[in-house]
Structure 1
Amino acid sequence: MRIGLVVDSACDLPKDFIERHDIEILPIAVRIDGTTEVDYRDQAATLAFLDSHIAERGVNAETIPYTVEQIRDLFLQKLVIDYDYVFCMTITRTRSPIFDNAQKASYAILNEYRAIRSEAGNNTPFALRVIDTQNLFSAQAILPVEAVRLREAGEEPGRIRTRLEQLASSTYGYLVPRDLYYIRNRARAKGDRSVSLFSAALGTALDIKPVLRGYRGDTGPVAKVKGFDAATQQMFEFSARRVDAGLLTPTVALCYGGELDEMRALPGYTALRDACGANNIEMFESVMSLTGMVNVGKGAVVVGFAAEPHEFGKP
């Protein structure tokens, strides 16, 4: 059985991994002051757009995900011919309409695919499963990496589906932003009042950085640390301890809102890299997506992995 994998471009995986494993992308466009860039996970294009637009005007950006009709057309024109079963893994539905759009598109796809497959000489059934990863950025990447591993191991779709749905509720993403004012202003531009002006001003004045956690569709602070470097060090070193304690998949995924060498120079990065090496954990590193950077700002760093329930900062 030919199994296809689909992610949206907010999923922070290296482009070469996506291309090597024939992962299809649902692109997200970013529009700032009349300039539009479509994110196809091209690191060079992302960094160029970051330098020229996001740092100064990202607060007012509009993100434009694929519509129901665009998703339907992509599947009917290509994927229902190329594959027999497709897993579409999306950014958490609590932060984006992509999951709902894909779910709605799936009804039309499953009603209309037969004639298209028949024309291509294939009369076997086609199946599609849309899965909410319940997370963001590099934490979203844990599911497609596992799906690739299971597909290459010859697992059948039912077992892959069960495994991915279990992992979605066990995946953690930890994020440290650089600029609280940016996050506050970006949130207000989207109608989200969760970051108050007072909190942003106080945090900036005292150089307090939150460690934010994404888990089961919810995002919120789990620690406050003085200084960006100290906060990232605490996040990296805690993640290294989780690696030593044992993960649910052999994968850690990182992303950064800028050049990756800047991330690699941050305190604590080496401890996490070494823990992954010692435990045979594959570590993926990616420049953060355009969608991610316009929402959390330049220079933010994220670590994602799947693990047993735990509290940040505790052994």
Structure 2
Amino acid sequence: MRIGLVVDSACDLPLEYLQRNEVTVLPITVRIGDAVLADHRDEQATLEFLNAHVAERGHEAETMPFTVQQIHDLFLQRLVIDYDYVFCMTITKTRSPIFDNATQASFAILNDYRPVRAAAGHDTPFALRVVDTQNLFAAQGVTAVEAVRLRAAGEGAPKIRARLENLALHTHGYLVPPDLYYIRNRGRTKGDRSVGLLSAALGTALDIKPVLHCNRGETGPVAKIKGFNPAVQKLFEHVVQRIGHGDLMTPTLCLSYGGELDAMRALPGYDALREACQVHNIELFESVMSLTGMVNVGKGALVVGFAAEGQKFSA
């Protein structure tokens, strides 16, 4: 059985990895004023757009994921011919309509694929599964990497489906945002008032940075630490501890950063984290944050993703 894998461009994995493993990307288009870029995980294009637009006006951005019709057309034009079963892994449905769009499109795809496959010489059925990763950005990458690994190991679609859906329940995404005002303004643009003016002002004045945690589609603070670098260091130390205890459910750790990766690698605690990954045979994936991610959480934000049971972060 030929198994295909699809992610949306908010999934923070290196483009080279996605291309090498033939993972299809559903692009998300970002518009800031008259500037428009379809995010295909091209890091250089993302950085150029970031430097030109996001830092000043990112909170005003409009993000436009693939529509139901665009997803339908992509499958009918290529994926139902190239594969027999496709897993489409999306950003959490609590933060984006991509999961719902893909689910709605799947009904039409399963109704329309037969003549397309027949014309290509395939007389076998086609199936697809839309998987809500229940997480964001780098943490989405954990599910995708596991799907690649299972496919390469020759596992069948039922086992892959069960594994991915279970893994989504135990995937943790941690975010350290550098600018609470940005988060507040972006939230107001999207109708989310979870960070108020007073909280942003106090946090900025005192240089307090939250460590935000996402699991099962729910996001909230697990710590508030004075200073961005100390907050990042505390997060890295937490991950090193979990790696050292053998807690990770997959040998995968994903990092993404809203800027040049050299700046991320200079953050305190990074070297110890990288060493822990090497010692314990954890594959470390590093990528520039998607443009979608950056317009939502701001330039210079850091996201860490891994899978483990329980949430044990303590400041």
For normalisation by structure 1, the TM-score amounts to 0.99
Q: Residue 263 of structure 2 corresponds to which residue in structure 1?
A: 262
Q: Which amino acid aligns with 1:269?
A: Y
Give secondary structure in 1 for the equivalent of 2:287: strand
The answer on 1:189 being equivalent to 2:189 is yes
Give secondary structure in 1 for the equivalent of 2:264: helix
Shift of 1:270: 1.0
Give secondary structure in 2 for the equivalent of 1:280: coil
Shift of 1:107: 0.0
Q: How do 1:70-149 residues align onto structure 2 when only pairs under 5 Å count?
A: 70-149=70-149
Shift of 1:175: 0.6
Q: Residue 168 of structure 2 corresponds to which residue in structure 1?
A: 168
Q: Residue 235 of structure 2 corresponds to which residue in structure 1?
A: 235
Q: Residue 201 of structure 1 corresponds to which residue in structure 2?
A: 201
Shift of 1:143: 0.6
Structure 2: distance between partners of 1:141 and 1:126: 25
Give secondary structure in 2 for the equivalent of 1:261: helix
Q: Residue 307 of structure 1 corresponds to which residue in structure 2?
A: 308
Structure 1: distance between partners of 2:178 and 2:243: 25
Structure 2: distance between partners of 1:125 and 1:265: 50
Structure 2: distance between partners of 1:45 and 1:252: 25
Shift of 1:313: 2.0
Q: Which amino acid aligns with 1:236?
A: F
Shift of 1:311: 2.0
User: Deviations along 1:253-292, whole A, 9 cap, x unmatched?
Assistant: 0000000000000001111111111100000000000000
User: Deviations along 1:11-30, whole A, 9 cap, x unmatched?
Assistant: 00000000000000100000
Q: Residue 283 of structure 2 corresponds to which residue in structure 1?
A: 282
Structure 1: runs of 5+ lacking an equivalent: none
Structure 1: distance between partners of 2:179 and 2:49: 18
Q: Which amino acid aligns with 1:312?
A: F
Q: Which amino acid aligns with 1:166?
A: N
Shift of 1:195: 0.6
Structure 1: distance between partners of 2:49 and 2:223: 31
Structure 2: distance between partners of 1:202 and 1:310: 27
Q: Which amino acid aligns with 2:80?
A: V
Give secondary structure in 1 for the equivalent of 2:255: strand
Q: Which amino acid aligns with 2:66?
A: Y
Give secondary structure in 1 for the equivalent of 2:113: helix
Structure 1: distance between partners of 2:131 and 2:199: 35
Give secondary structure in 2 for the equivalent of 1:221: strand
Give secondary structure in 2 for the equivalent of 1:274: helix
Structure 1: distance between partners of 2:296 and 2:121: 45
Give secondary structure in 2 for the equivalent of 1:93: coil
Structure 1: distance between partners of 2:239 and 2:303: 11
Shift of 1:132: 0.1
Q: Residue 211 of structure 1 corresponds to which residue in structure 2?
A: 211
Q: Residue 62 of structure 1 corresponds to which residue in structure 2?
A: 62
Shift of 1:34: 1.5
Shift of 1:308: 1.2
Q: Residue 38 of structure 1 corresponds to which residue in structure 2?
A: 38
Moved runs in structure 1, 4+ residues, more than 3 A? none
User: Deviations along 1:163-206, whole A, 9 cap, x unmatched?
Assistant: 00000000000110000000000000111011111000000000
Q: Which amino acid aligns with 2:290?
A: S
Structure 2: distance between partners of 1:292 and 1:171: 18
Give secondary structure in 1 for the equivalent of 2:66: coil
Q: How do 1:4-19 residues align onto structure 2 when only pairs under 5 Å count?
A: 4-19=4-19
Count of aligned positions:
314
Structure 1: distance between partners of 2:120 and 2:22: 20
